[in-house]
């Protein structure tokens, strides 16, 4: 499994995770099919976690969308009562979302500031534990001693920090209703307070 494979994790971080907001937006637009977006995303990642030849995937974004699409098909077929509308929608699934993104570098560019800002808005204790762990590099045991809490509480704080980070990294994109995929980059730029092109 992925637990001890940093290479695969790094590949996922660089090539898949940046596309999660677009994937969620794309799946979210298909509300009527009655699918659970979170379920699809998690299951798609499970498939990628055990994909043997992941390094050979030439278009990770397209591949991710393809996996998600086939999972949606499977979910809808498995449902007891099939919504006729959902089946019709399936046929019309556009592939615009799967096209290479123009703003692939959007996240990478502001990565460190994004991190700095996300840590800054964490709840107080979580923030303290997270900074001691990630910025100062202390062990969980040393953090527990310094904060006068148990090691398992430290672990809970770190876990919570990771969730908040994931939340912001992959969901915190305001997409106006009906907007197409190309607006993704613009939406993220708004959040990071970035750029007005000359």
Partner 1 sequence: MKSRETSQSVDIAASEWAAKIDNGPLTPQETAALKDWLEGDSRRPGALFRARAVSMYSESARALGPHYNPDDFTETPAAAPRLSRRTMLAWGGGLAASLAVTVGVGLSLSSSQAYATARGEMRLIPLGDGSTMLLNTATSVEVEFGSERRLVRVLEGETYFEVTADARRPFVVEVGGQQLGASASAFMVRRLEGGPVDVLVRSGNIELLKPGRATSLTANTHLAMTVRDDSVLTSAEAAAVAPEVLSRQLAWREGKIALHGETLAFASQAFARYSDVHIQITDPALANESITGLFSANDPVGFSRSVARIFGANLSVQPDAIVLSR
Nearer to partner 1, 91 or 114 (CB): 114
Selected from 32, 39, 59, 171, the binder of partner 1 by CB under 8 A is 39
31 lies in the site for partner 1, by CB under 8 A: no
Selected from 50, 55, 85, 174, the binder of partner 1 by CB under 8 A is 50
Rounded to whole angstroms, the Cα distance separating 114 from 136 reads 18
Smallest Cα–Cα separation from 137: which of 150, 149, 146, 124? 146
Rounded to whole angstroms, the Cα distance separating 153 from 144 reads 8
DSSP 3-state of 101? coil
Build a one-symbol-per-residue string for 136-175: x at contacts with partner 1 by CB under 8 A, - elsewhere.
xx-xx----------x---xx-xxxxxx-xx--x------
Selected from 70, 105, 145, 171, the binder of partner 1 by CB under 8 A is 105
Closest approach of partner 1 to the CB of residue 52, in Å = 14
* Exposed/middle/buried for residue 155 (C-beta within 10 Å: 0-12, 13-18, 19+): middle
Q: Do the beta carbons of residue 188 and residue 106 sit within 8 Å?
A: yes
The structure tokens listed for 149 are 């809490």
Nearer to partner 1, 148 or 197 (CB): 197
Rounded to whole angstroms, the Cα distance separating 172 from 153 reads 27
Closest approach of partner 1 to the CB of residue 189, in Å = 9
Residue with tokens 């991190």: 115
Binding footprint of partner 1 on the chain (CB under 8 A):
1-3, 6, 9-10, 12-13, 16-17, 36, 38-39, 41-50, 105, 109-113, 115-117, 119-121, 127, 130-131, 133-137, 139-140, 151, 155-156, 158-163, 165-166, 169, 193-198
């Amino acid at each position: 499994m992925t637990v001890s494979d940093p290479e695969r994790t790094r590949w996922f971080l660089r090539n898949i995770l940046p596309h999660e907001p677009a994937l969620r937006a794309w799946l979210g637009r298909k509300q009527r099919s009655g699918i659970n977006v979170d379920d699809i995303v998690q299951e798609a990642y499970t498939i990628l976690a055990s994909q043997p030849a992941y390094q050979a995937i030439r278009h990770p974004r397209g591949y991710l969308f393809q996996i998600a699409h086939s999972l949606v098909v499977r979910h809808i077929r498995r449902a007891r009562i099939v919504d006729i509308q959902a089946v019709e929608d399936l046929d019309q699934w556009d592939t615009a979302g799967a096209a290479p993104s123009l703003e692939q570098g959007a996240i990478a560019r502001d990565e460190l500031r994004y991190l700095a800002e996300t840590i800054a808005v964490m709840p107080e204790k979580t923030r303290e534990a997270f900074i001691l762990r990630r910025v100062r590099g202390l062990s969980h045991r040393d953090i527990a001693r310094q904060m006068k809490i148990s090691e398992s509480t430290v672990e809970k704080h770190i876990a919570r920090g990771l969730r908040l980070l994931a939340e912001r990294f992959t969901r915190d994109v305001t997409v106006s209703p009906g907007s197409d995929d190309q607006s993704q980059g613009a939406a993220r730029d708004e959040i990071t307070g970035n750029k007005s092109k000359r």
